[in-house]
Structures are given as C-alpha cells and as structure tokens.
Structure 1
Amino acid sequence: MTNSKAPSVTAAEPAQAPPPQTSRVACALPAGVQRLTSHAILQGAQEIEIEHNGAVYRLRQTSQGKLILTK
C-alpha cells in the first residue's frame, strides 16, 4: 500500500481578476473617449441640468425617447 499524500499547498500569488470585458463598440471609440448611457446620466429623471463653463444647460428626454440639449 502506498502512502499517497495530497499535494502540499504553498502560498501562491493572490488570484488576479480577469480583464474587464469590452464590447466591440467600446473598442471602436477613440482613445480617451468615454461612453455613458442616457439612463446612467438621467438616473430615471426626464430632465437634468448640466452646468458647464458658468452656463446651465438642460438635457431632456422627450416622450418619443429622444434627447434635447438646450442652453
């Protein structure tokens, strides 16, 4: 009868997370360009105000689902 031991476990490097999955659309964007969904920006609201360089803009979603940006 042979004495079979389980292989010894040594401290290994911490498991690395897999690289983030990217879609083909995201890969097509120029370097430094981010893509956000309108849902992420509006967060359930129909209209938000955006302040940019001292001016206030309104981003509004229409009943047809289109976006309108006005100053």
Structure 2
Amino acid sequence: MDLAAAQEIDSTLDEWAWELSGQVPAPAEPRPDEADRQVRDYVKDVIRDRAAAERELERLKGYKSALTEQAP
C-alpha cells in the first residue's frame, strides 16, 4: 500500500467519524442464548430478592410478637 492510498483511507475514516459523531449508538440485539441468560439471571434476582424480603418480614414479625408479649 502506498502513502497516497493510506492517506485516502485515513481521510475517509476521519469523514465517517465526523459524520457519525453526533449519533447515539444503539445497543445491539442480544443473541438468543444471551437473551435467555439475561432472563434467567433476572428471574434468579427476583426470586432472591423476594426470599430476602420474606425473611425480613418474618424477622420483623418476630420483633413485633416479642414486643407485644412484653407489653403490660
């Protein structure tokens, strides 16, 4: 490749970069296997959060029952 061809390619890439600089890139659609993984991870997170919330609720109910037993 000669110098003129390299400069032409560089110039073209600079033009493309300038033309595209104002556009916001959109995220690519995930592949089916990646989409499945994302859904599985989301479901695991929801189940884990719900289990944690239920444990916290049971803990608070224990405090409430302990307080009501001590009340005169």
**TM-score using structure 2 length:** 0.31
Greater share of strand: 1
Structure of larger gyration radius: 2
**TM-score using structure 1 length:** 0.31
Query: Which is bigger in relative contact order (C-alpha 8 A, separation at least 6)?
Result: 1
